[in-house]
């Protein structure tokens, strides 16, 4: 969990800034005409697809060069789920902005 928190803080700062950790999804939504939750889901699905390929490869014994280890993909997917939960909470209560506690 400490690793996930560190990853969330590091990547969150890079992608969203410090005021609103969901800002990159909102910017993506404004650019594409979809919702912030749809943007987050699309980003998360990239990691889900990579995990699914890893699982299939493990089952068939397929070796493949990977740009990122499976642990990193799993960590990213878990964090995307937390961020999507923040988007849902914010949609249900627009007065709140999702800024993770340190």
Is residue 29's pLDDT more than 70? Answer: yes
pLDDT score recorded for residue 21: 83
- Cα dist from 57 to 15, 42, 73, 77, whole Å: 31, 23, 15, 19
Rounded distance between C-alpha atoms, residue 24 and residue 30, angstroms: 10
DSSP assignment letter at 50: H
pTM of the predicted model, to two decimals? 0.80
CB 23 within 8 A of CB 16: yes
Average pLDDT over residues 25-38: 96
CB 20 within 8 A of CB 99: yes
Give the tens place of pLDDT for each residue, 35-72. Answer: 999 999 999 999 999 999 999 999 999 999 999 999 99
Cα-based angle 43, 79, 81 (whole degrees, multiple of 5):
70
Give the tens place of pLDDT for each residue, 79-93. Answer: 999 999 989 999 998
């Amino acid at each position: 969990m400490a690793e996930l928190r560190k990853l969330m803080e590091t990547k969150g700062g890079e992608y969203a800034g410090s005021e609103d950790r969901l800002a990159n999804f909102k910017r993506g939504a404004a650019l594409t005409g979809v919702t912030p939750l749809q943007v987050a889901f699309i980003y998360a699905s990239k990691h889900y697809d990579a995990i699914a390929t890893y699982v299939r490869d493990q089952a068939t014994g397929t070796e493949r060069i990977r740009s990122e280890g499976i642990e990193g993909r799993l960590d990213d997917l878990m964090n995307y789920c937390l961020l999507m939960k923040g988007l849902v909470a914010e949609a249900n209560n627009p007065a709140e902005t999702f800024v993770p506690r340190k």
